[in-house]
Each structure stands twice: as structure tokens, then as C-alpha cells.
């Protein structure tokens, strides 16, 4: 305001339930009532849900207006605010309605993390671990050491975590913005993780908790396929346990999980496609995975 901008706000309820077409319609109405024009900009101040929803509005309002990110959760700072993926959920699947709309700026204030509830902070660590598993063994080793002595909770360690994660993701996205090949590796853990979220109506687990569960099950699937040694799976499980993230889910119907997984955006026709690690620090895209093997892994 002091710089001469006219500011309007729209505050949404927390949680994945707000990332919907219904909420988007309310924001479109507000934008038209203000009215926002094609020279206006939308600033997302909040976590991943806020960023995804605000970006979706910016991408589609008047065929696209400027978009800026000020992520306040660890998960948003290390993952969802970088790369330009914006979307809303549908009852039949997560992030199924969306676009690629790059922010003009991403401003990360690490001090915001000191205000997070512990569960939300820990949830963000899941995506951090993912970067080590898919592309950076040294970073995974660093996380193992620093989680052991709790130093990852210190500000200098948090800044290192954020910078390293953003560097890895931006390197991948700059080579494959529209997820035609390489960017798909960022989806490790998300095929099963998104199914867990959808099956539980986005209410039992946070996104990070769901992805942690997904990474464990997908690592076990990789081991069942003979790709990843069991010792590496154990290291992943042990790291999540030390952080305090869930490593399994109970009471969910494997067949219902499979129904959601069959709608995954990576799939080709009726073929299940997974991003699976063959070692810590390297993953591969595996097509036409045997559904019966996936079913057996889920039943564990």
C-alpha cells in the first residue's frame, strides 16, 4: 500500500478441501467485483494449497494475469512454489484440473517456519527427503546425519535445506517445464500418495505425510521388482521414522487405492506408470507395472 498499490485480500479456510472449483468460483466472483484487470497481479501468501489455488486463478482469470508466490510453509518453500504447476482438486483425483503458470517471483522468508505447527513442519520434510532419493545421494546422507542430532531444526540448516531443494527442483524444471520426461521424476511417492489423500477425503493425512507413505510403498514396489536393494528401502524407512513421518497406512481398501491410481496423470492408457528408485539418488520411470504386484505391496 505504501508503494501505491491497491490491495484486496481473499482468505480461504485451511486444508485441501479449499483447493476446489467451488472455491475458485468464489474467488473469480471477488476478482470481478473488485474488479481485477489484465494488469493486476495475484500474490499467494500461505502454504501449498494457497499457492496452487491462487496460481490456478491467475492462470485462468482473463486468460492469465501475473502471479507471485510468498510461501510460508516448508512444503511450499521447497516444492510447490517452484516450477509453475497450479491446480485444483476434483473428487475423483488430486490436481486433475490445472495449468502451467510460472510465478513472476518467489519470495521465501525462512523465518516463517518458526511459526509453523510441528506437524506441518515435519510434513514439509517429506518433500525434502524426496530430492535426496531421486537425485542427490549426498543430500540424503546429510539429512540422515542432521536428523540424528536434530540440527535440521536450526535456522542455518533450514536455509541449507530450502536452498538445496529449490536448486534441485529448479534444475529439473528448467530442463522440462511441461513434464514431458525428466520432470516426472519429481512425482516419486505421489502416485500412491495422491491415492492415499483422495481415499481419505484429504482429511486424515497432510500432503507430506501422504507422500512419505507413498515413497515407502513405491520403494517397496521397486524392491519387489528387483530394482532397489532392500537395504536402501530400510534406510528410507528409518529416516522417515526418525523424522516422525508415517511409513504405512491402515484401514484403506487396496482396490480403492488402485482405482485412484489408475487416474494418475503419468499413466499411458491403462498402463500404470511409476517413478521408482533403483538406488538412493537415482530413479527411473517404469511403465506397465503389473497391477497384481502393486496390489500385493499395498496389502502389506
Residues known to be catalytic: 63, 85, 127, 169, 179, 183, 187, 190, 194, 207
The CA distance from 136 to 113, in Å, is 24
Q: Report residue 137 CA to chain centroid gap.
A: 20
Reported as type and span, the H/E element at residue 48 is helix 48-60
Measure Cα distances from 105 to 1, 51, 163, 168, 269 in Å.
Answer: 18, 12, 15, 18, 36
Q: Report residue 272 CA to chain centroid gap.
A: 20
The CA distance from 300 to 295, in Å, is 9
Reported as type and span, the H/E element at residue 31 is helix 21-33
Q: Report residue 20 CA to chain centroid gap.
A: 17
For residue 88, the SS3 value is: strand
The CA distance from 264 to 275, in Å, is 12
Amino acid at each position: 500500500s505504501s508503494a501505491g498499490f491497491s490491495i484486496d485480500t481473499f482468505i480461504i479456510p485451511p486444508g485441501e478441501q479449499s483447493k476446489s472449483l467451488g472455491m475458485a468460483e468464489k474467488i473469480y466472483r471477488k476478482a470481478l467485483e473488485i474488479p481485477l484487470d489484465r494488469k493486476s497481479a495475484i500474490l499467494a501468501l500461505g502454504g501449498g494449497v494457497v499457492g496452487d489455488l491462487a496460481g490456478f486463478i491467475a492462470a485462468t482469470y482473463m486468460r492469465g494475469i501475473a502471479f507471485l508466490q510468498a510461501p510460508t510453509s516448508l512444503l511450499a518453500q521447497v516444492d510447490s512454489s517452484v516450477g509453475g504447476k497450479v491446480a485444483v482438486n476434483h473428487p475423483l483425483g488430486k490436481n486433475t484440473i490445472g495449468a502451467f503458470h510460472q510465478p513472476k517471483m518467489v519470495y521465501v522468508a525462512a523465518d516463517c517456519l518458526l511459526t509453523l505447527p510441528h506437524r506441518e513442519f515435519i510434513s514439509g520434510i517429506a518433500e525434502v527427503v524426496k530430492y535426496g532419493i531421486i537425485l542427490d545421494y549426498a543430500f540424503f546422507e546429510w539429512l540422515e546425519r542432521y536428523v540424528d542430532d536434530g540440527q535440521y531444526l536450526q535456522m542455518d540448516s533450514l536455509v541449507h535445506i530450502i536452498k538445496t531443494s529449490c536448486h534441485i527442483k529448479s534444475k529439473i524444471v528448467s530442463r522440462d517445464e511441461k513434464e514431458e520426461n525428466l520432470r516426472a521424476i519429481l512425482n516419486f511417492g505421489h502416485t500412491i500418495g495422491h491415492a492415499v489423500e483422495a481415499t481419505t477425503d484429504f482429511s486424515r493425512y497432510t500432503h507430506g505425510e501422504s507422500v512419505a507413505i507413498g515413497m515407502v510403498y513405491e520403494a517397496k514396489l521397486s524392491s519387489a521388482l528387483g530394482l532397489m536393494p532392500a537395504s536402501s528401502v530400510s534406510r528410507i524407512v528409518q529416516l522417515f521414522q526418525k523424522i516422525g513421518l508415517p511409513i504405512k497406512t491402515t484401514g484403506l481398501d487396496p482396490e480403492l487405492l488402485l482405482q485412484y491410481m489408475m487416474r494418475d496423470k503419468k499413466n499411458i492408457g491403462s498402463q500404470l506408470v511409476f517413478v521408482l528408485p533403483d538406488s538412493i539418488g537415482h530413479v527411473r520411470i517404469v511403465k506397465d507395472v503389473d497391477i497384481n504386484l502393486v496390489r500385493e505391496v499395498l496389502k502389506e
